[in-house]
Amino acid sequence: MDALVICGATGVGKTATAREVSRRLVEGGLAHALVERDELDRVHPWPPPGLPRWEPARRNLAAIWATYAGLGHHRLVLCGVFADLRQELRWIAEAVPDAAVTVVRLTAPRDVLASRVRRRDTGGAARDQLWRSERQMEEIAATDPPGTLVVDTANLPVAATADRLIALWPAVPGDAAPGAR
């Protein structure tokens, strides 16, 4: 089992990059699953009373991964903010047992984040999200476990970012990586 965990603050390009990684893997004929962390615990109230905040996501990822693994999949692309990466990697490891995990944290300078956030949100919502994104950047960088790979997306188109992540992920054979043909 191999998992590529793509993390970073809101606005760094996690979802777009994860989708492009998936598209590239499809082109290469490589079986995989793509899961967006946000979809694992979209419930109200959140967090459910009496449970750790990550527990719904852990349970759902475990159930989804059990299904995918049962279908023969052994590659997972998982993207999300993952503000406390060391702690969150524990529940990911429980949900996807025995996986070799490659963690890539995407970054971007404040002006790039601001531009991207303003494309998605307006007015006060954009201001509030930019403030949260800046805090997320600091929190995530402070909890990088050893071996975390960092990719700055500021001057990279999504396709180039995806190519870089695929090249960094040992689960993708070199001859199946984009540009290897």
* pLDDT tens, residue by residue, 19-73: 999 999 999 999 999 999 999 998 888 878 899 889 999 999 999 999 999 999 9
Indicate the residue type of 145. P
CA distance 25 to 12: 21
Taken in order of first residue, the domains within the chain and their CATH numbers are: 2-171 (3.40.50.300)
Q: Would you say residue 175 has pLDDT above 70?
A: no
Model pLDDT, residue 44: 85
Selection from 170, 7, 175 nearest residue 88 by Cα: 7
Q: What is the pTM of this model?
A: 0.90
* Percentage with pLDDT > 90 across the chain: 60
Return the pLDDT at 8: 93
Tell me how far CA of residue 106 lies from CA of 7, 80, 99, 126, in angstroms: 6, 11, 21, 20
| pLDDT, position 117 | 77
Average model confidence (pLDDT) across the chain: 90
**Radius of gyration for the alpha carbons in the chain, expressed in angstroms and rounded:** 16
Say what the pLDDT of residue 127 is: 79
Beta bridge partners of 106: 151
DSSP state string for 112-143: HHHHHHHHH--HHHHHHHHHHHHHHHHHHHHT
* pLDDT exceeds 80 at position 179: no
pLDDT digits (tens, 9 = 90+) for 111-135: 888 788 778 777 787 778 888 888 8
